[in-house]
């Protein structure tokens, strides 16, 4: 998150670059569809070392801003563009200033439609970049308020670390973390998977009786602690074996239903020595939790040798949140 800022003076280069991390859901409980069309969420999530880099350039002669993407994706995700535009607009609204035109260039290592918060990271970096570029003077609390208005993953990408999220971004709380960084192997799919289709598949499976209601919600569909409390204790103690034993994702079966081949990737990861193999958020990226860095390199090498994924990366978490990297 950004600190105090001042408005750029006339003649200065009006460009800022901010970076923000991807996220992994260590626990993801999904409630029934709400009246607003969204699903209630109870999640313990953590920032990890895949990054998006957002460069903003003021364009006073232009009536509109533009968004361009680069990185591992071969297409522009329209929803990500809309989220970035909303982030910029709400920063100006919060500051009580008329919106100014801006060009936004995004260079990201985070898989698009991969369940690791690519759009949320873009939005979080955009909040920090816009605040710094235009001297909006937003406090960390105001930046967080903007992030919470944009969705459940944006606050985590903005703040970094490990957090408990409830609702759809409405309630976020930092969680205690002790121990060494967690070591992950990220197995990326060739094609992404839209979150909306995964949630729809979960609804279908629950309606057909082939998926159970979430343990994170009670009979009145209110969030409860039962689904993540053991994980919270493991995180507070820094016990990687206990963390591995308590990773959970309510969307896993829905993702596997839409992409059956994903089961092979998860099994390959376990056979290669991962402590746990889970699906990242709404998928289809697979996450392999490893004991240490050496083990992560071994697992990554084995997955690459087997051709289990389109791309494989070894990363760590938690990381810091969104921050300015260049002016």
Cβ atoms of 287 and 278 within 8 Å: the answer is: yes
Cβ atoms of 86 and 154 within 8 Å: the answer is: no
Beta bridge partners of residue 103, listed in sequence order: 57, 66
Q: Is 218 a catalytic residue?
A: no
Q: Is 225 a catalytic residue?
A: no
* DSSP β-ladder status, 162-167 and 39-58: antiparallel
Q: Which of 80, 109, 153, 268 is catalytic?
A: 153
> Residue 130, exposed/middle/buried by CB under 10 A (0-12, 13-18, 19+)?
buried
Residue 171, CB half-sphere, CA atoms under 13 Å: how many? 9
Task: Centre a 10 Å sphere on the Cβ of residue 79 and count the other Cβ atoms it contains.
Answer: 15
Q: Which of 23, 80, 109, 250 is catalytic?
A: 23
The length of the chain, given as a count of residues: 327
Cβ atoms of 143 and 127 within 8 Å: the answer is: yes
| Active site residue ranges | 23, 153
């Amino acid at each position: 998150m950004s600190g105090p800022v001042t408005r750029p003076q006339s003649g200065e280069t009006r460009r800022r670059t901010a970076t923000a991390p991807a996220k992994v859901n260590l626990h993801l409980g999904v409630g029934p569809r709400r009246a607003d069309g969204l699903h209630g969420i109870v999640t313990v999530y953590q920032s990890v070392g895949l990054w998006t880099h957002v460069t903003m350039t003021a364009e006073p002669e232009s009536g509109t801003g533009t968004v361009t993407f680069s990185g591992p994706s071969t297409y522009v995700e329209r929803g990500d563009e809309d989220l970035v535009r909303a982030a910029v607009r709400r920063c100006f609204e919060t500051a009580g200033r008329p919106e100014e035109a801006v060009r936004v260039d995004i260079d990201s290592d985070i898989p698009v439609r991969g369940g690791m918060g690519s759009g949320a990271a873009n939005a979080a970096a955009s909040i920090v970049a816009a605040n710094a570029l235009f001297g909006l003077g937003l406090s960390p609390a105001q930046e967080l308020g903007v992030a919470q208005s944009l969705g459940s993953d944006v606050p985590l990408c903005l703040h970094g670390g490990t957090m408990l999220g409830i609702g759809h971004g409405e309630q976020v709380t930092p969680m205690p973390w002790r121990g060494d960084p967690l070591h992950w192997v990220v197995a990326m799919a060739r094609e992404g998977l839209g979150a909306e289709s995964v949630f729809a598949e979960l609804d279908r499976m629950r309606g057909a009786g082939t998926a159970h209601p979430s343990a994170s919600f009670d009979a009145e569909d209110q969030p409860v602690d039962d689904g993540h409390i053991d994980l919270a204790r493991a995180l507070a103690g820094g016990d990687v074996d206990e963390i591995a034993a308590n990773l959970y994702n309510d969307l896993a079966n829905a993702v596997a239903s839409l992409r059956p081949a994903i089961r092979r990737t998860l099994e390959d990861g376990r056979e290669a020595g991962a402590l746990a193999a889970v699906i990242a958020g709404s998928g289809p990226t697979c996450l392999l939790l490893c004991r240490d860095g050496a083990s992560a390199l071994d697992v990554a090498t084995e997955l690459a040798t087997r051709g289990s994924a389109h791309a494989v990366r070894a990363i760590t978490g938690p990381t810091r949140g969104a921050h300015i990297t260049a002016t």
